[in-house]
Amino acid sequence: MRISAIPQIYRNVNRWGEILSILSKYGLAGWLSRFDFALGKSLLKNRNGQVLAKESRETRIRLALEELGPTFIKLGQIMSTRPDVVGGELADELQKLQTRVPADSAELVAEIISEELGQSVEDVFAQFSPEAIASASIGQVHRARLHSGETVAVKIQHHGIQQRVHVDLDILTGLAQLAERLPELRSYRPLSTVAEFQRALRRELDFTRECRHLEQFLHAFEADEQVVIPRIYREFSTERVLVMQWLEGTPLTEPEAICAAGIELAEVTRRGAEMYLEMIFHHGIYHADPHPGNLLVMPDGTIGLLDYGMVVRIDEGLREEIEDMLMAIVEQDANRLVSVVMRVGAVPPGLDETGLALDLTDYVAHYAHQSVDKFELAPALTEMFELMRRYEIVLPSSMALLLKVLVMLEGTSQKLQPNFSLMEVLEPFQRKVLADRLSPSRQLRKAKRMAYEVQQLAEVVPRRLRDILHQVQSGRFDVHLDHRGLEPSVNRLVLGMLTSSLFIGSVLMVTNQVWPLRGISVPGVLGLGLSAILGLRLLRAIGKSGHLDRRR
């Protein structure tokens, strides 16, 4: 950890102590779980009395995050979308994270509304329910009615949540710096994961971003009568207060109530899947949390979409890569899939490309003979995530999140209709995607982008060449070499030279009887002993690396 982090450790010492005590408890439980010691295992429990040492490693991580509070729960939810980083088992377990945050009192809610809107609750709303309908990690939702008569949902940030989140984010950065030094945690890429999480959480703390997301979705689906997006009331919405239209519908978590209303579940399921594919492949902006509680079935059978805190926009280039990847899986084209993975993923140095190609070929062949209506996309994508993790290939966060959303979408759909296949719905989009790619408007956009990039290159290259020639002419041209992996070799070389020098010097002292004791040079003998120890240590280090006599 950097020295610059010491002031924030002192400033947040109480929270640091709380976090470290919880992590120590769960770490000790993990250590005890390796031994058959029933009495010791039963000593460590979580807040609900659950014995920790009897749970799996993935469950202990989830329980620890829940006990650490809302910020860490949000971190776990973000990590659940990155099975290519944390692994499929842990990602599935983190999807079970529950945010149990008590709602703020009516007095605190009234105080926040007054601070944000400059008016009292009575001045803004004709009727306001003091009891929260739902309370999550960032905010809580109340039902209210405006003076103009519209029923609205009022989303209000928890009191002091921004300060608590900023403290936890500071601490998370410190923990990530420590985790980078541990080999068993380095594969989870803690620093980059925490940086990605910080960006996502800070965006979620600003409700004005959610306002913009709502307006974008309203514009995208204004001509679609099958999708209902709540209207936003800008005049009553700020960074900490969000007022939107109240949607009266049945959440997908209540399929029995949907059937009782005379609505076909199969039709609703298919319509919801098509809505998401339309977002992804046509609009390039999608709702990143297809949880059943965020999808409502309206009385007329249309679908209402709630909670726009997690919305992701994908540019045209990345969308084409995602389309290529999905189409390669659909068409069982192994070569195309290998090409896409190598092109978009961050590959480690020394990647075994031959092994990756063989594994991807086997992966595609496994699903090659499944009919479209029997093909389940979720297991296929989950297996691909495991392949990426095995070869330490990291996908772009937006691509990994999108593929995870498709897995969640198929899982949500199969809860309503067990024989549902997202691939069956995706197949018609394959033709639509191909038609869009070949459309004159898209080709014209690509041509304009390429012309702009060529123009920029034409402007930059002559100037850069002129600068290089000027540096060569004036004798200021430097070549910087980056020596990767040479540090251990250099250290061993220096240690070997010091050991040799110490040995030779000690032999000379023994020969010339420097500071003799009973005819033997004391410093010479000590030097010989120390050089022998250093020499053995050097041989052991070389032997462990396996590079002593290896021939290429």
CA dihedral 478, 483, 489, 492 (to 10 degrees): 50
Q: Which residues contact 357 (CB under 8 A, 6 or more apart)?
A: 334, 338
d(CA 94, CA 80): 5
Question: Of 372, 352, 329, 397, whose CA–CA distance to 79 is shortest?
Answer: 397
Residue 473 burial class via C-beta count within 10 angstroms: exposed 0-12, middle 13-18, buried 19 and up: exposed
Q: Do β-strands 134-135 and 139-146 pair in parallel, antiparallel, or remain unpaired?
A: antiparallel
> Token pair of 356, please?
């990756």
Segment 3-55, tens digit of pLDDT:
444 445 545 677 777 777 777 766 655 555 555 545 445 556 556 656 566 67
Q: Which helix (H) or strand (E) holds 154?
A: strand 151-157
Strands of 195-302 (E only): list them. 227-228, 241-245, 250-251, 285-287, 295-297
d(CA 289, CA 499): 61
CA diameter of the chain: 107
Segment 340-398, tens digit of pLDDT:
888 887 777 777 888 888 888 887 777 766 666 666 777 777 788 888 888 888 777 77
**C-beta of residue 298 within 8 angstroms of C-beta of residue 263:** no
Strand order in the sheet with 295-297: 227-228, 303-305, 295-297, 250-251
Q: Do β-strands 303-305 and 227-228 pair in parallel, antiparallel, or remain unpaired?
A: parallel
Residue 13 burial class via C-beta count within 10 angstroms: exposed 0-12, middle 13-18, buried 19 and up: exposed
Q: Which residues contact 249 (CB under 8 A, 6 or more apart)?
A: 228, 296, 297, 298, 299, 304
Low-confidence ranges of the chain (pLDDT < 70): 1-12, 25-54, 84, 98-100, 184-188, 330, 332, 368-375, 430, 433-434, 437-438, 442, 481-487, 544-552
> C-alpha angle with apex 332: 329 to 336, nearest 5 degrees?
75
Alpha helices in 345-486 (DSSP H): 353-367, 377-390, 397-416, 422-438, 440-474
513: left (phi over 0), alpha (psi -120 to 50) or beta: left
**C-beta of residue 177 within 8 angstroms of C-beta of residue 189:** no
Given this model, what pLDDT does residue 138 score? 84
Beta-ladder partners of 346: 394
Q: Which residues of 271-289 are buried (b: 16+ CB within 10 A; e: fewer)?
A: bbbbbbbbbbbeeebbbbb
d(CA 499, CA 493): 10
Given this model, what pLDDT does residue 437 score? 66
d(CA 391, CA 349): 11
- DSSP 8-state symbol, 308: -
d(CA 171, CA 11): 11
Q: Which long-range contacts (CB under 8 A, 24 or more apart) does 487-490 make?
A: 488/545
